[in-house]
Chains A and B, each alone.
Chain A
Amino acid sequence: MTDAISDLPKGKPATGGHASLLSESPLMKKRNAAEARFKLYGVVAITVGLAFLIFLTVSILRNGIPAFTQTVVNVEFTLSQEEFDEAESKMLKTAAYTEIFVNNITAQFQERGLDVEFDAGTIERLLGKVGGDLRSFYRENPDQIGQPVGFELSTASRVERYLQGKLTRDMVVDGRFLEAADLDVVDAMVDAGIIGTAWDWNFITGTDTGVDNPGGAGIGASVIGSFFMMLVVLLLSLPIGVAASIYLEEFAPKNRFTDLIEVNISNLAAVPSIVFGILGLAVFIQFAHLPQSAPLVGGLVLTLMTLPTIVISTRASLKSVPPSIRDAALGVGASKMQSVFHHVLPLAMPGILTGTIIGLAQALGETAPLLLIGMVGYVAREYPDSLTSGLLDPNSAMPAQIYTWAARSDEAFFEKAWGGIIILLIFLLTMNIIAIILRRRFERRW
């Protein structure tokens, strides 16, 4: 064996090398340790990446889920006919109802041996205008008078935060919204077991409120705003994107004009979204005088942003249709245009739809350009009542609404922002799942 290597370059350590394969040389030990370390770095990198994802998910869920529930006070209440008549005959009718309510609660407290002083003002700070609610209920349902009725009264957002432990007694500054003494009443209600939680439909279906009422803010109107924007994006970017891709992929001659288009598309895909916002502001609002904050303008800007995505994916799916299909169509005497529209396009359709859905999902989550066209800070107080008003009346959109809430100084809105994110992500997840299913279902290997 030594003969075998006598002719070889010298410099090999006499002991190491190929003495025996069954023993590990010291150098090999070091090299294997380096190998294990290197592999470990990879594992650590993946773990850190996934840990980020988990951390993000957990913090969204933990902070956002409370937005979907609200704290309510469950009160059973019996109003006699005399009380009703008496209250209706008074000047301040709602105040009379409030007083009846206060008496009722006091009675319930006393029944349980709790001794807390409070008045109508306290109730108003904790539960809002209870008297009005009661009055309108009994006026609409006079047959309920004299019978026990269970009421579920939603509490003010500050009470909720106190119960969640996010607001402590020493943080409370007496004011219009809450006084420290009110918290005694809250504690008493907890002891009395009349505080519970209920699903907050208003958050999903409601509209935004002003800065002083975080509890009542809902995301519904901005979901509609987003919907109208996506409608514009879909109706514009799908036909334009498909037409552009068909031209570039099937008809375009190789010349400087098509080169220019190609370069433009690939660069537009990488232009920061805020620049599209500037474009929208300058062209659609400053120049064309379209209304600010309108979903139409948002939709136009997002269309321009989504086009490159759609063009790129459409071209990929057109490219994946084998040339034999085109040849077959041309071979039976179809024109080039007919072969594309009758044969290639239908075969590429699943891929195009998948790409479009993914493009729409991207557009749905985009925020920065909406900041510039005035969708942020706008208080979406009402639902649009028609198609035109949906497109042209000022509205917000989901991501813009989340930003608006996050930018408000009242911390109670942060919970709403996290909740909004959950809703936004549910939409995105649904769209992506649809895209995946489409791809799986129609994927074709040629």
Chain B
Amino acid sequence: MKDMIPVDRKMSTMQDSKISARGVQVYYGDTHAIKDVDVEIADKTVTAFIGPSGCGKSTFLRCINRMNDTIDSARVMGDILIDNEDIYDPKVDPVQLRAKVGMVFQKPNPFPKSIYDNVAYGPKIHGLARNKADLDEIVEKSLRKAALWDEAKDRLDAPGTGLSGGQQQRLCIARAIATAPEVLLMDEPCSALDPIATAQVEELIDELRQSFSVVIVTHSMQQAARVSQRTAFFHLGNLVEYDDTDKIFTNPQDPRTESYISGRIG
């Protein structure tokens, strides 16, 4: 807490705040993984979480759609509000929450089903389509949004696992946006991809900003600089610094941020 830069506090008054986290602590068994993190994430922006491995950035990301619930030993304390509703309220069903807060994972993980069924899976379980035509439309729109439609439209019945790595990851993004989320969480979405596929996905992220609040965890500072408007730097479970991306990369306030940016730690 004492490491925190007080600059963050005034963010809470900022308008258009989609997600606000206050005093979040996460324990894995006895390990204290996240130490008292406060953060405000704006709507329709791309927010990047950067930091060295094991700094807790992915853990924090997984708190936002309660994916940590699936790990037995994980305990989350503090409040996370989305649209001013506490998502850790006992009345909240994590299933409903995850429909609102979509997630894309580090390694592309298409289901062993056809491309069509991969995208249609979410709308089907959430009952978003009234009929087959509706569903077809959702699938098409999602694939278009994920910039995969042109490559996939002739092989919708082919298995999703048969696509290339970059295509698979875009399929996973299409799958996530098909459930009409408001927030999209991306956990190092490009770490398993080659540079060309990475460029395509980054381009896509920039477009997605039009519709969603995107939170992306990344290893690569260049990527954070390229795609995000706001950047948060995590170190050893602390949120060290959170500011506009330009400011973080050009004029960091905290010496640790500077060391990381300049490549001395991490």
Question: B-contacting residues of A (Cβ < 8 Å)?
Answer: 1, 4-13, 16-18, 20-25, 27-28, 31-32
Contact = CB atoms under 8 A, between A and B. Distances in A.
Interface string B152-196: 000000000000000000000000011010100000000000000
Interface in B91-112: 91-93, 95-97, 99-100
B182 A1 contact: yes
B43 A24 contact: no
B92 A9 contact: no
Contact of B138 (A9, A17, A20, A31): A9
Contacts of A27: 126-127
A71 to B, nearest CB: 56
Contact of A16 (B95, B123, B127, B212): B127
A68 to B, nearest CB: 46
Nearest to B211: A7
A8 B177 CA distance: 8
Nearest to B142: A9
A5 B180 contact: yes
A32 B93 contact: yes
The interface size bin for chain B is: 35 or more
Contacts of B141: 8-9
Contact of B137 (A9, A22, A23, A32): A9
Nearest to B83: A1
A17 B125 CA distance: 12
B44 A24 contact: no
A39 B125 CA distance: 18
A31 B137 contact: no
A28 B125 CA distance: 10
A10 B145 CA distance: 13
B3 to A, nearest CB: 32
- 4 closest cross-chain pairs (CB), A and B: A9-B141, A9-B138, A18-B100, A7-B211
Contacts of B83: 1
Given A8-B180, A17-B180, 17 more contacts: A1-B83, A4-B182, A4-B211, A4-B212, A7-B210, A8-B141, A8-B177, A9-B123, A9-B141, A9-B142, A11-B128, A18-B180, A21-B93, A22-B89, A28-B93, A28-B95, A32-B93
A18 to B, nearest CB: 4
A21 B129 CA distance: 20
Contact of B96 (A6, A7, A28): A28
Tell me the interface secondary structure of chain A in the complex. loop
Contacts of B138: 9-11
A30 to B, nearest CB: 9
B100 A31 contact: no
Contacts of A9: 123, 128, 137-138, 141-142, 177-178, 180
13 contacts: A8-B180, A9-B137, A9-B141, A9-B177, A11-B137, A17-B100, A17-B128, A18-B180, A21-B85, A22-B89, A28-B95, A31-B125, A32-B93
Interface string B20-59: 0000000000000000000000011000000000000000
Contact of A11 (B99, B134, B177): B134
Nearest to A4: B182
Contacts of B82: 21
A4 B43 contact: yes
A18 B89 contact: no
A4 B177 CA distance: 12
Nearest to A6: B211
A11 B123 contact: yes
B85 A22 contact: yes
A5 B211 contact: yes
A8 B211 contact: yes
B92 A22 contact: yes
Contacts of B178: 9
Interface string B212-230: 1100000000000000000
A4 B210 CA distance: 8
A32 B91 CA distance: 13
B87 interface: yes
Nearest to A29: B93
A36 to B, nearest CB: 13
A247 B256 CA distance: 58
Nearest to B182: A4
A292 B266 CA distance: 76
B2 interface: no
A31 B96 CA distance: 10
Contacts of A10: 137-138
Nearest to A5: B180
B182 A5 contact: yes
B135 to A, nearest CB: 8
Contacts of A28: 93, 95-96
A29 to B, nearest CB: 10
A21 B100 contact: yes
